[in-house]
């Protein structure tokens, strides 16, 4: 589930947020271990985001990408998006729907 109000820790990096609660993540340097996987998923699904950026520096659209990537990396088979376009610019809305079409095509 990707909530309308994102569940991210703003002072942490993207990779640190994805690593939180992720099974199999090493205790030492979890963000480093997750960054590679995050880059792979970013490219695969067309959700570009820098794993080393602090979340508070990201636009709402990029924070939403982080939430979607977080769900995908955890193995979500179904994504539920709570009002996904409410905080996005028109361009970000178009990008989101392209990504959703890509996800749908992959099953």
Q: What is the pLDDT of residue 103?
A: 86
- 14-106, CATH topology level: Rossmann fold (3.40.50)
**Confidence check: pLDDT of 48 > 80:** yes
pLDDT of 26 higher than 80: no
Confidence of residue 10 (pLDDT cuts 50, 70, 90): very high
How large is the average pLDDT for residues 22-47?
Answer: 87
Q: How far apart are CA 54 and CA 51, in angstroms?
A: 8
């Amino acid at each position: 589930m990707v909530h309308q109000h994102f569940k991210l820790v703003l002072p942490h990096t993207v990779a640190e947020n994805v690593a939180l609660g992720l099974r199999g993540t090493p205790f030492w340097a979890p963000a480093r271990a997750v960054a590679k996987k995050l880059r792979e998923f970013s490219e695969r699904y067309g959700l570009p985001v820098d794993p080393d950026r602090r979340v508070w520096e990201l636009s709402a659209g990029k924070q939403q990408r982080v939430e979607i990537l977080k769900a995908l990396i955890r193995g979500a088979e179904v994504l539920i998006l709570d009002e996904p376009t409410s905080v996005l610019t028109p361009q970000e809305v178009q990008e989101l729907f392209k990504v959703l079409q890509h996800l749908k095509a992959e099953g």
